[in-house]
Amino acid sequence: MRGRMTRELSMAVALLAIWGFFAWREPAFLSGRNLSLLSIELAITAILALGMFLVLLPGQIDLAAGSGVGLAGAVAAVLVYFHGMPAPVALALATAGAVAVWAGMGVLVAVERVPAFIITLGGLLVFRGLHWLVIDNQTVPIVEGGGTNAYALLTTGYLSPLAGWLLVAAACAAYTWSSLRRRARLLRHGFDADDAELAFLKPFVLTQGLALVALVANGFRGIPVALVILAAVAVLVHQLAAHTPFGRYLYATGGNEAAAAVSGVPVRATVIGAYASMGLVVALTGFMQTAYSGASTTTVGSLMELDAVAACVIGGTSLRGGRGTVPGVLFGALIMASLINGMTLMAVSPEAKYVARGLVLGLAVWLDLRIGGSRQGRGTAGVDGGEW
Amino acid sequence: MRGRMTRELSMAVALLAIWGFFAWREPAFLSGRNLSLLSIELAITAILALGMFLVLLPGQIDLAAGSGVGLAGAVAAVLVYFHGMPAPVALALATAGAVAVWAGMGVLVAVERVPAFIITLGGLLVFRGLHWLVIDNQTVPIVEGGGTNAYALLTTGYLSPLAGWLLVAAACAAYTWSSLRRRARLLRHGFDADDAELAFLKPFVLTQGLALVALVANGFRGIPVALVILAAVAVLVHQLAAHTPFGRYLYATGGNEAAAAVSGVPVRATVIGAYASMGLVVALTGFMQTAYSGASTTTVGSLMELDAVAACVIGGTSLRGGRGTVPGVLFGALIMASLINGMTLMAVSPEAKYVARGLVLGLAVWLDLRIGGSRQGRGTAGVDGGEW
Amino acid sequence: QRGGGAPQAAAGDARVVIGLSLDTLEEARWRADRDIFVARANGLGAEVVVLAANGDDTTQVGDVEKLLTRGIDVLVIVPHDGKAMAKAVRMAHDAGVPVIAYDRIVRDSPLDLYVSFDNVRVGELQARYLVDHLPTPGRGRIVRIYGARSDNNAALFKAGQDRVLAPYLERGDITVVHEDWAEEWKPENAKRIVNAAITASGPRFDAVLASNDGTAGGAVQALLEEGLAGRVLVTGQDAETVALQRIAAGTQAMTIYKPLGSLARGAAELAVKLARRSVVVAPRAVDNGATAVPSVLFDVVTVTRDNLLDTVVADGFATYDDVYRGIPEAARPPRPGT
Amino acid sequence: MSPQPAGPAAPVLEARGLVKRFGGVTALGGVGFRLHAGEVHAICGENGAGKSTLLKLLAGVHPRGSYQGELLVDGRPVAFRSTRDAERAGIAIVHQELALFDDMSVAENLFLADLPRRRLGRIDWEAVLQRARALLADVGIALDPSARVGDLGVGQRQLVEIARALARSPRVLVLDEPTAALARHEVDALLGLVRRLRDAGVACAYVSHKLDEVFAIADRITVLRDGVAQGTEAAGATDASQVIARMVGRPIQELYRRRRAARGAVRLRVRGLTVARAPGLPPLLHDVDLEVAAGEVLGIGGLMGAGRSELLLHLAGHFGRRLAGEVELDGQRLPGGDARAAARAGLAWVTEDRKRLGLVPGQGVAFNLTLASLARLRRGPLVDEVAELEAARRIVESLRIKAASLGAQVGSLSGGNQQKVVLGKALLTAPRVLLLDEPTRGIDVGAKLEVYQLVDRLAGAGCAIVMVSSELPELLGMADRIVMLGAGRVGGTFDRAEATPERLLGAAMRHAGVAA
Ligand SMILES: Nc1ncnc2c1ncn2[C@@H]1O[C@H](COP(=O)(O)OP(=O)(O)OP(=O)(O)O)[C@@H](O)[C@H]1O
Ligand SMILES: Nc1ncnc2c1ncn2[C@@H]1O[C@H](COP(=O)(O)OP(=O)(O)OP(=O)(O)O)[C@@H](O)[C@H]1O
Ligand SMILES: [Mg+2]
Ligand SMILES: [Mg+2]
């Protein structure tokens, strides 16, 4: 927990700097419209990053995420457009496929012990090839021209203002209730919890935040469905990682695989589980990314895996496994998404875009190290160093 | 050393399978012309892989290699073509730059302790941006139309048959002499060494091999300069890694960084040194790759870092650091290069190419695990697992 | 299967081998090119070996090497990069193989023949159509989406567009409210760009000058979500099926149809002639920096809602059902021949 | 080793007012310390007293600036930037946690920091091997210099570690629990070596929890408690009980107290067990028979490499291929290599190698304690946070684990407290059979006492306990019956009544001839 506060601070500083800069150079950046669109782009980046987070925790990696995104989206698109399947069915099928394939990769990593870097690098190539085969290098729309369907709605759907407000209200109520209840239990059993002030401040802040989101979003077209999906995924992954045995196993496996194994942690099942969940996430992201560009083309998804890893690491997830938090990952994703959105808004030239992205990536992590110091080695030089 | 023999066997099997297949489907594969060209392509892949090897040994990684290759080549090309610099000077300048920059990244990794994955991912983006800026998204030839210079000769130069034979002779002589001398010294001090038979067999086999190469190459245009460069680099890197303190520090740092630090290994200097060497290699590869395509364009170098890592891992280098050998890396690079060369020769469609590359990558490593078992752990389940 | 070695200058009707080195097969159009070309060549009794370089110059140089290794009588090349492939031409000539540049010229090299559509002209047609069909012809506010910054053709299209737009821009009759490069020709980037345009300067523009159908698709997607689709004029190129459907549906105004058929067939015929070392007639010449390259330039066609049937469908490039897919029978024009 | 004249009165190495903090924890709170040439200076203290930290400062592991206070060598102030500086000043350290490279040869490990070179900076391997052979002979260790360190047993590795420190013929030798992993005869060899060094004028700082050793070798003894020096005395002028009293701040009476519990029904029965590391390899365990009843403590002794750890590992389902024999727990057969089945049957195992197999160092105390029992701490699909904390707190209190909080990183605890966490993890699974491998390795008397009391309590509660130990007194004190292993065979089984050190050692040696 050491330096926890400061590390969150450093994140906030980085983010504020970025937002401030864009707002200054291009006021429209803070317009409700742009923020809504940003939230959709964020959702796509962040969901994939959350999946990557689950894979990084046990000390693995998934380089196939990007091309998997392309493939999943393509399969669904083809099923819908050429085989006239109802969108929900197509999505379900594609998802099932992705989960199976990723679980398979998990087996190769956990049971056959082939380094994940290799397996998923192989996956990257294979899936890209399949992706192009599936769409025959054509452009395959996800829906009959101009129409709409469940698939398209993933990124084009918005909640009605009323629905939005109800959702926000429900969320806040749920959070407040559960957090207060948790605190009560802790205190009852004589463990220390947040003091009263903080305990009431937190739900309050959350409520304000969500209200603000709703307000801004409703000012445009309402809360984007994509954002709701992100929220759901984030809550789910957080619960999974922090509060279920499976989550503990992820951390334990990443922290010391041998010790975990002899403590009765089903190491292999854990790793396979992580990859299976990644499959689920990859499929979901694939649908959203494809829906975002309206059709499946050969370029969908390329290099997204790197963005996902970057988001995780910016958010303090260790590439050696065993360390990381969901809020951190969300923060990291937000930084990446804001960057791209803002630069596009300013019509920055591609070269400059690359340079800026690279610098910010390095800077964010470096800043984090400096201020938060959370990755710094204890005691002797390099005790926990040499980390990628 | 356990399973050393078997692992080399498994490599050989994989390679023979690949060569056999191509020779069967496309006889031209074994033509002197193609083999010479293959050797040039191999040189480019392998040299970068050897650099990556030096970075992987201490447990780091370099994702910026690919775009670095592009940038280095571009800088040199611009200096030659637009500023009319003599090629050697231009190459020297670009090299110096690369070394400095990579050493810088090394410092960030070793001293500032920013994860290498992030620093070099940042580098990937930044260098690509700079690359495009430098050549202004144009195409910059490396030499005035049709002419030639030191730069172009890197991949278009060939040794005269005589020179080739002399070189081969010299190499064999040197090897035989040194190996016999070493054996003598070992025995003199009463340590065990190869028995006489083996001791004479080795140089013999080497001589045969080189003679064959010379024969085939001279059948086309002579031994390619690129191949000579590769040989030089390989010998150098092997000596460095296996027979100098710096090399041993690389292994130690990768094997157990904390232990290395407390046993007086200059961990930071070692890591920085590894990256500096990588800078050198990146520059060299950059020149060769650019020379190969005759001009610097925006696409030079993209994704080469992944091929390099793949070659290393296929060759048995551990991504956790501390394990790997130069011959292994060369083997891995040869597999990759042969694969791409052969498939192109067979005019395989791009999709199929991706799929095949992916499958072979996974297969090679899996086979290696199965037969060589060199990555498998002794004792309790998962005790040494979780490697990427 | 043929062995390696140097190609023999095939005489008379000997079975000739044509090497076709494509920049990429990632876009639908190039597959069409390939299929028609191969079909025609085979028809003329020639064998064709096809390689695609996935838009990477290094790969393409390698491809050419491989083709020469296999032994070919003529090289037909679609250079990813006009300047870079000069090296390929030299290599081919070293091996005694004549070279035809297909669709894109190879610069600074002793090219034997150039067969293409005029890419600059494509840009001109796009801009010309846009200018003429603005709500008030010749005046208005437009968004410009260029192709991949790293792709030379993108520059050519832009050049053509600029040539037409220049006077209007000078007079201020036409103003560009937003312009950007769509990295990798990615539709999602095009969508981002249009979104950015709307965010930055509101939905007050009359047209999006997109350089190809891919980016046009991204633009239309953004406009759809904005409810502007159909009201804002969008240009394109390549006559992708999806684009034709958009034109039929009215969300895209035009695309440039390059009668691939004639180009590919023509190129195949010329290639076979060259391979057999027989006479070739090239009416025009294009300067590639080194020489005036004998050229055969095919004309391109502007496809709009009105001439869909007479162009792409009549050519058999796209079927009636594909084009009008998802459009109610009532709204469709009568099926040709009925 | 270059012999030096017995040192002058001025201390070779002196520390003044050393203060070292790790985040919140104060490891050292102003420690002074003097080390003279030609003396062995023992440092005693409870787990977490700050012994290792002190030694690390002396040896430059923690660089200057990371602590306050000053170090003087030959009366001149020094500030080490790294262990290299310390080595140049003639100070070498043997770490508590092994710092060797498995993939490298013994010789290379010995000279890694300064490998002899030939022209072009290439390593002179022959010289390396020769120097290694010379050094090992000189130090009296029988090891092949070209052997791969990864293939050595725990003890042999420890010896390599010591030899490495001596490779630089230091003037000051710092040893942190060098004998923790050693068997009796190896310990004697080591002590002899240290004496020879002392006589050669080397100054030795020596940390050990084994007081008999300390008194056998030390000239002076400094006691640390909670990072503060409790004074230094000549070994002759004090005795074990005084030292212990100062270490723990309270006198400790008799260490081994066992209330005889009524010997209940047989819980664990092993018959004819023969086990190999892997199929095809020669068996490490031959035809082993043993029985443990409820309420009974079975001690297992033997020399280094006897295969005791392998026996326990195999019983716990973590190791080896069973070639013959069977294992029953409460009448239920346990298949080989099925750890989950063993755990489900109520069998728990505590490793001897806590660093590698015991802990997830990056995680908190509670996390580690409950890791093996999460299944029983569920509340719906989630882990019941409160139940988890309760369980953790119970263990922390009953084992007196010294940690800043339940969330404190285990990696930052001292060796002994880490060991307690490993024990606690096993206890939380409410085992019916408990396998302990060197449960008191590297922990202090106070902690030892607690462990013994715990064992006693568990036995009293009807748990069957198997305890592997290299320390005969421990076996004699705690076990109801003792099985001696030698080279993987049962060399003899004794009732506590008939057991004497001589007979036990005899039994351990019985098959020693067979050992590699
Ligand atoms: N790297 C570290 N980070 C944080 N705290 C540490 C670190 N190393 C030691 N400590 C703390 O400093 C105190 C002293 O630790 P030290 O290892 O010196 O104890 P010790 O006397 O060696 O105990 P033991 O006999 O178990 O080895 C302990 O409270 C420990 O928790
Ligand atoms: N890493 C290893 N590789 C190969 N053999 C090993 C390894 N570790 C131990 N052994 C062998 O296994 C046998 C038992 O080793 P071990 O030292 O664990 O026995 P032990 O009776 O538990 O002694 P102790 O627990 O005191 O070390 C010995 O023959 C030892 O040489
Ligand atoms: Mg200690
Ligand atoms: Mg043991």
State whether the Cα torsion B206-B212-B215-B220 is positive or negative: negative
Residue A253 scores a pLDDT above 60 = yes
Instruction: Spell out which residues line ligand 1, taking CB within 6 angstroms.
Output: A 378-379; D 22, 25, 27, 45, 47-53, 96, 412-416, 444
Token pair for residue A362? Answer: 């390095």
Which among D29, D32, D40, D44 has a CA at the least distance from the CA of D71? D32
Where does the pLDDT of residue B77 fall: very low under 50, low under 70, confident under 90, or very high at 90 and above?
A: very high
Closest ligand (CA of D304): 2
Distance, CA of D50 to CA of D264 (rounded, Å): 43
pLDDT at D514: 39
Which residue's entry shows tokens 């939905």? C203
Q: Return the minimum-mean-pLDDT range out of A97-111, B304-318, C261-275, D4-18.
A: D4-18
B255 touches chain D (CB under 8 A): yes
Which among B229, B236, B237, B211 has a CA at the least distance from the CA of B40? B229
pLDDT at B263: 80
Which residue's entry shows tokens 């129409």? A147
Hey, which bits of chain C come out as E strands?
16-22, 46-52, 74-77, 99-102, 113-117, 140-146, 174-181, 207-210, 233-234, 254-257, 284-287, 292-298, 301-304
End-to-end CA distance of chain D: 31
Which residue's entry shows tokens 């290792």? D52
Q: Which is it for strands C74-77 and C16-22: parallel, antiparallel or unpaired?
A: parallel
What mean pLDDT is predicted for residues B66-86?
94
Ligand 2 test: best mutation among D304, D352, D354, most atoms within 8 Å of CB?
Answer: D304
Give C 131-160 residues with CB within 8 A of chain B: 149-150, 152, 155
Where does the pLDDT of residue A375 fall: very low under 50, low under 70, confident under 90, or very high at 90 and above?
A: very low
Three-state DSSP class for residue C284: strand
What mean pLDDT is predicted for residues B106-128?
92
CB-based contact D383 A263, cutoff 8 Å: no
Average confidence score pLDDT of chain D:
86
What mean pLDDT is predicted for residues A178-204?
85
Distance, CA of C16 to CA of C10 (rounded, Å): 7
pLDDT at B1: 39
Where does the pLDDT of residue A379 fall: very low under 50, low under 70, confident under 90, or very high at 90 and above?
A: very low
Selecting from B350, B380, B388 the residue whose C-beta is nearest the C-beta of A258 gives: B380
Where does the pLDDT of residue B146 fall: very low under 50, low under 70, confident under 90, or very high at 90 and above?
A: low
Q: What is each CA distance from C194 to C177, C180, C182, in whole angstroms?
A: 11, 9, 10
Domain extents in chain A: 2-157+224-374, 158-222
Sheet with C207-210, strands from edge to edge, namely C174-181, C140-146, C207-210, C233-234
Q: Is D198 in the pocket of ligand 2 (CB under 6 A)?
A: no
For residue D125, the tally of other CB atoms under 10 A from its CB is 21
For residue D74, the tally of other CB atoms under 10 A from its CB is 16
What mean pLDDT is predicted for residues D36-50?
88
Residue C261 scores a pLDDT above 90 = no
CB-based contact B117 A313, cutoff 8 Å: yes
Q: Which long-range contacts (CB under 8 A, 24 or more apart) does D458-461 make?
A: D458/D427, D458/D434, D459/D258, D459/D261, D459/D295, D459/D296, D459/D297, D460/D259, D460/D261, D460/D295
Cβ atoms of D199 and D38 closer than 8 Å: yes
Hey, which bits of D178-296 come out as E strands?
203-207, 220-225, 228-234, 266-276, 283-293
Task: Tell me where in chain D the CATH 3.40.50.300 domain(s) lie.
Answer: 7-90+171-251, 254-346+431-516
Cβ contacts of D390 on chain A, cutoff 8 Å: 189
Burial of B318 (0-12, 13-18, 19+ CB in 10 A): buried
Most confident among A42-51, A313-322, B314-323, D145-154 (mean pLDDT): A42-51
Cβ contacts of D123 on chain B, cutoff 8 Å: 243-245, 248
CATH ID of A2-157+224-374, from 3.40.630, 3.30.310, 1.10.3470, 1.10.12: 1.10.3470
Burial of A347 (0-12, 13-18, 19+ CB in 10 A): middle
Residue B196 scores a pLDDT above 80 = no
- Minimum Cα–Cα distance from C19: chain B residue: B347
State whether the Cα torsion C57-C63-C67-C69 is positive or negative: positive
Residue D57 scores a pLDDT above 60 = yes
Q: What is each CA distance from D398 to D424, D427, D439, D453, in whole angstroms?
A: 9, 11, 16, 11
Most confident among B4-13, C168-177, D252-261 (mean pLDDT): C168-177
Average confidence score pLDDT of chain A:
88
Q: What is each CA distance from A137 to A243, B350, C49, C322, D196, in whole angstroms?
A: 44, 11, 20, 17, 79
pLDDT at B79: 95
Where does the pLDDT of residue D43 fall: very low under 50, low under 70, confident under 90, or very high at 90 and above?
A: very high
- D504's CB contacts (< 8 A; 6+ apart) are D301, D472, D475, D476, D482, D484, D492, D494
Kindly state the helix (H) or strand (E) to which residue D169 belongs, with its residue range.
none
pLDDT at C185: 86
Classify domain D254-346+431-516 at the CATH class level: alpha beta
pLDDT at B376: 35
For residue D450, the tally of other CB atoms under 10 A from its CB is 20
Average confidence score pLDDT of chain B:
87
Token pair for residue B293? Answer: 């395509």
Distance, CA of A154 to CA of D482 (rounded, Å): 69
Q: Which chains touch D (3 or more CB pairs under 8 A)?
A: A, B
For chains A and C, CB pairs below 8 A equal 110
Summarize pLDDT for C9-43 with one digit per residue, the tens: 444 456 899 999 998 887 777 888 899 999 999 99
For residue D206, the tally of other CB atoms under 10 A from its CB is 27
Burial of D335 (0-12, 13-18, 19+ CB in 10 A): exposed
**Nearest CA distance, D61 vs chain A (angstrom):** 6
Q: Which is it for strands C207-210 and C140-146: parallel, antiparallel or unpaired?
A: parallel
- Minimum Cα–Cα distance from D376: chain A residue: A245
What mean pLDDT is predicted for residues A324-333?
94
Cβ atoms of D112 and B252 closer than 8 Å: yes
Residue B127 scores a pLDDT above 90 = yes
Distance, CA of C77 to CA of C88 (rounded, Å): 9
pLDDT at C3: 37
For residue B12, the tally of other CB atoms under 10 A from its CB is 11
Domain D7-90+171-251 has CATH 3.40.50.300: yes
Q: Whose CA is nearest to atom 24 of ligand 1?
A: D47
Distance, CA of D165 to CA of A325 (rounded, Å): 42
Distance, CA of D465 to CA of D480 (rounded, Å): 10
Distance, CA of B94 to CA of C286 (rounded, Å): 37
Which among B305, B385, B332 has a CA at the least distance from the CA of A121? B305
The Å distance, Cα D308 to ligand 4 centre, comes to 6
Q: Return the minimum-mean-pLDDT range out of A232-241, A369-378, C141-150, C160-169.
A: A369-378
Where does the pLDDT of residue B371 fall: very low under 50, low under 70, confident under 90, or very high at 90 and above?
A: low
Where does the pLDDT of residue D274 fall: very low under 50, low under 70, confident under 90, or very high at 90 and above?
A: very high
Residue D155 CA: nearest ligand 2 atom is 27
Paired strand residues for C297 = C116
Supply the DSSP symbol for B315: T
Which residue's entry shows tokens 């610069």? C107
Hey, which bits of chain B come out as E strands?
140-141, 295-296
Summarize pLDDT for B201-246 with one digit per residue, the tens: 888 888 999 999 998 888 888 999 999 999 999 999 999 999 999 9
Give A 89-128 residues with CB within 8 A of chain B: 108, 110, 112-119, 121-128
Kindly state the helix (H) or strand (E) to which residue C219 belongs, with its residue range.
helix C213-226
